């Protein structure tokens, strides 16, 4: 849990399945290319969402978890040049088995997908410039917290994402004030929608209510592919998290139209 969190300070459809009004989520971190100690060292820095989100690295708990996140160090597994991609078959095979079982599992990749085999199943998320803890924070804010705090809205969530073949990128915007943050968030969304090499299937955005409202008012044509989560109004909450999901390896029927 973060020592200082403005959010905590202010807060006193996939075809395969849907999670209905969950009260909490248990997440298992599996590690590939990391040591058990490295994976465990992440736990103190991960968001707990006021006790509603539990993280574990204990593989014995796998049968009792709601979600598995595979932490994949692609460079360590296949080498700096990516010449040993066969060493990355462990997480690829694990994701394939999860896909066949219909269980909710996603992969978070440190490094480039160029270091991974092209033939992959499921949802693979690039950490990009984020640390692993930072990337997990963005995933929790955009894809888990909305499901736990606004279940009646049936927002597109982490379990829906796990049920698609997707390649995702993460972003976090900051601003000195709400208006500036709304403009930066608008620019980030516009870039993702209009200037990507491929059309995104979905964009999940999480931010303070006023920031989201300002962003929507400036961009009425963006709503069809946006999934917006409005956090409680708070003048101290000056960050916004974004997850952009691209169909992988090509547009498919995995993506719902609604």
Q: Please tell me the total count of domains within the chain.
A: 1
According to the model, what pLDDT value does residue 111 have?
83
Give 162's pLDDT tier (boundaries 50, 70, 90). very high
In a domain, 254, yes or no: no
In a domain, 258, yes or no: no
In a domain, 37, yes or no: yes
The 3-class secondary structure across the chain, one letter per residue, is CCCCCHHHHHCCCCCCCCCCCCCCEEEEEEEECCCHHHHHCCHHHCCCCCCCEEEECCHHHHHHCCEEEEEEEHHHHHCCCCCCHHHHHHHHHHHHHHHHHCCCEEEEEECCHHHCCCCCCCEEEECCCCCHHHHHHHHHHHHHHHHHHCHHHCCCCHHHHHCCCEEEEEEEEECCCHHHHHHHHHHHHHHHHHCCCCCCCEEEEEEEHHHHHHHHHHCHHHCCCEEEEEECCCCCCCEEEEEEEEECCCCCCCCCCC
The model carries a pTM of 0.84
According to the model, what pLDDT value does residue 5 have?
37
In a domain, 252, yes or no: no
Measured distance between the N- and C-terminal CA atoms of the chain, rounded to whole angstroms? 35
More confident residue, 206 or 4: 206
In a domain, 98, yes or no: yes
In a domain, 167, yes or no: yes
Beta pairing, strands 105-110 & 67-73: parallel
Instruction: List, for residues 36-81, the tens digit of each pLDDT value.
Output: 999 999 999 999 999 999 999 988 766 789 999 999 988 887 655 5
* pLDDT surpassing 90 at residue 8: no
According to the model, what pLDDT value does residue 256 have?
55
Mean pLDDT, range 168-190, rounded to an integer: 93
In a domain, 58, yes or no: yes
Q: Which residue segment(s) compose the domain that 42 sits in?
A: 6-247
In a domain, 237, yes or no: yes
């Amino acid at each position: 849990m973060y020592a200082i969190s403005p959010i905590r300070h202010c807060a006193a459809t996939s075809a395969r399945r849907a999670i209905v009004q969950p009260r909490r989520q248990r997440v298992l971190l599996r590690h590939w290319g990391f040591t058990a100690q490295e994976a465990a060292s992440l736990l103190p820095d991960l968001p707990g969402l006021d006790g509603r989100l539990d993280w574990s690295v204990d593989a014995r708990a796998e049968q009792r978890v709601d979600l598995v996140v595979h932490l994949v160090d692609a460079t360590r597994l296949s080498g700096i040049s990516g010449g040993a991609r066969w060493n990355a078959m462990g997480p690829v095979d694990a994701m394939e088995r999860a896909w066949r079982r219909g269980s909710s599992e996603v992969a978070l990749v440190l490094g480039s997908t160029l270091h991974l085999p092209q033939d992959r199943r499921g949802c693979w998320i690039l950490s990009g410039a984020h640390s692993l803890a930072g990337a997990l924070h963005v995933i929790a804010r955009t894809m888990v917290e909305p499901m736990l705090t606004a279940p009646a809205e049936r927002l597109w969530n982490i379990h829906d994402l796990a049920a698609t073949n997707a390649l995702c990128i993460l972003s976090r915007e900051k601003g000195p004030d709400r208006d500036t943050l709304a403009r930066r968030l608008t620019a980030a969304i516009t870039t993702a929608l209009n200037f990507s090499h491929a059309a995104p299937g979905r964009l999940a955005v999480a931010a303070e209510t006023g920031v989201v409202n300002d962003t929507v008012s400036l961009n009425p044509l963006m709503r069809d592919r946006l999934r917006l989560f409005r956090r409680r109004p708070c003048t101290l909450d000056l960050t916004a998290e974004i997850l952009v999901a691209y169909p992988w390896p090509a547009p498919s029927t995995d993506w719902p139209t609604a």
